[in-house]
Amino acid sequence: MYSYLKDILQHLRKQDLEYLVDLFERDCPIRMKKAELVSELAVYLSSSPAEWLNLMPERDLMLLLRIREAGPEVHIKEYYPDYPSVLEYAGIVSAYPVDDPDAIYHEVWMCREVYRKVMPYLDDALLRGYSSGRFQAERKMLGFFNLYGLIPYDLLFDLMQDDMLTVSRSPLLKLCRGYGPDDELYFCSPCLDSIDDVLKERALFEEINDYRPFLQKEVLEAGGGAPEFVFGLGTESGSALDTMLRNLGFEGADLAWEEHEIWMCAQDPERNLALFDALSRKGDSIASQEEYDRGVQIIADYANSLPKWRLFGYSADETGALRVYVDPSEEPAEGEPHWEMPHPSISEGYSDLIETTPELDALTAMMPPGFPFGMAIPHVAGDDPCPCGSGLKYKNCHGRNKS
C-alpha cells in the first residue's frame, strides 16, 4: 500500500500535499520538501487506517461502504459531486473518467492492496461516527452551510456551540472555509463556487439584515444525503417535483442526483436554464407540450420555495426577490432584482445540429406543434471555455449535463 500511495501522491503539487497534511492533521515540520511530504503521507495513510478513518466525514465512509459492497477493483458509478471526497483527493479511492465527453458521472474503485488494508477498520469507524454523535453534528453543520450558502465564523459558532467540540477535528471545517474580500472568515456550502459572488449580490438586499431561522429538523434535512443534498421534498412544491420526476422514470441514485441538481441550479443565476435539464433528459417520456409546460412550472415553483443563499436563507416566495419567471406575461416590480427565465422550448435556428433521418422525420410529423425536442443553445466545442464564465472547459463544466 505504501508504494502504491507514494506513486499516486508524488503526482500532486506540493500545495496539494500540504493541504492533505492539514486535512489529516499530521504535525509536520514547516518547509518540508515535496519528496518528504509524499513519504510522510504515504507512511501515515498505509500504516494507520484505523486512526485516519475516524477523522473522515460520513460522506467518505459511506463511499467506502459502497465500494466494499462492490468489491476490490470493481468500478462503480458516481455522479460528479459538488461535495469532494477526501479519500478520492488523497488517492485512496481511485477515480476513473468514463470514455464519454457528455458523461455526468465518473467511476470510482479501490485497488486490491488498499482494499485489504483499509476495509477491516470501516465498520468500527462507522460505529464510532454514529455512536459519538459526530455524524449527526456533521449533518447539522452541513445543513447550515447549505441553507445559508455561507456564514461567518461567529454565527456558525453560535449556531453550533453545543456541537463544535464534536466536529472540531472534522476535515469539513477546512474543506468548507474561505475568506471574503474583507478577509473575514466564512464557512460555506461545499456546493458553493464563489464566496465573492454571493457577498456582492447580498448587498442588493439591504432590507434583509439577518439570517433566516430554521428548525433543527430542517437543518438536518439540508445536511443529510451527502453528496446529493436535497431540501424541501416534504412541502407541497417539493412533493409535486418528486412525483413528477418519478413519473418521468427517475429512481434511486438518479432521482437523488436530479433533485440535488435542481436545488443547486436554483441558487445560481448562471445555471438558471439548467434547472430544466431533467425534462430534457427524459424528453421521450413527455407526451405533449402541455405536459412539458406543467413540468417547467413545477420546477419553477419548487425553485421559488427554496432557501436562497443570496437572500440569507429566505426564499423567493417569502421575499418576492430572485423569483424564477417562466411566464412571459409576468413582470417583476420595477427595479426588483430577479432572474429572467427564458421558457425552454424546441430549438430554433440550430436544425443543422440534428442529423435528419427518415425515422426522425416520421417521428416529428407525429408530434404536436412546438414539441420540445431540445434547448435553444448555441454549439460550444468541448475544449472551448464554458460560456458561464467559470474558466473551465465546457466539457468539464455545463457540458457535463448535456446529453
Question: Does one domain contain both 328 and 219?
Answer: no
Residue 392, all three cell numbers: 473551465
Indicate whether 282 and 380 sit together in one domain. yes
Residues 285 and 308 in one domain: yes
Distances (CA, A) of 159 to 5, 145, 164: 39, 11, 9
- Number of C-beta neighbours around residue 49 at 10 A: 20
Cell 426577490 identifies what position?
A: 321
End-of-domain residue from the set 71, 95, 127? 127
**Overall pTM > 0.85:** no
Residue 334 lies in a domain: yes
219 and 261 both lie in a single domain: no
**Does 342 lie in the same domain as 303?**
yes
Distance, in Å, from the CA atom of 97 to the CA atom of 386, rounded to the nearest integer, reads 19
Q: What is the mean pLDDT of each run of 10 residues along the chain (403 residues)?
A: 90 90 85 90 94 95 96 90 85 81 82 95 97 96 96 93 90 90 90 89 87 96 94 96 96 93 88 83 85 91 95 93 75 55 38 47 56 48 65 64 48
Per-residue pLDDT, 362: 61
Domain boundary residue, one of 127, 148, 168: 127
What pLDDT was estimated at residue 375? 40
248 and 368 belong to one structural domain: yes
pLDDT at 209: 84
pLDDT at 381: 65
In a domain, 231, yes or no: no
Q: What is the pLDDT of residue 95?
A: 85
> What per-residue confidence (pLDDT) applies to 236?
97
How large is the angle between the packed helices 252-265 and 289-305, nearest 10 degrees?
60
Q: What is the pLDDT of residues 85-95, one digit of tens each?
A: 899 988 999 98
Q: Are residues 112 and 148 in the same domain?
A: no
Give the domain extent around 325: 236-401
pLDDT of amino acid 376 = 40
Element (H, E) at 368: none
Same domain, 155 and 193: yes
State pLDDT tens for residues 156-180. 999 999 999 999 889 999 989 988 8
Distance of alpha carbon 197 from alpha carbon 192, whole angstroms: 10
Residue found by looking up cell 457540458 in the block = 399
| H-only helix segments in 266-401 | 277-281, 289-305, 316-319, 358-366
What pLDDT shows up at residue 373?
47
- CA–CA gap between residue 360 and residue 370 (Å, rounded): 15
Res 387: pLDDT: 67
205 and 143 share a domain? yes
Q: Which of 77, 102, 127 is the last residue of a domain?
A: 127
What does the pLDDT read at residue 345? 41
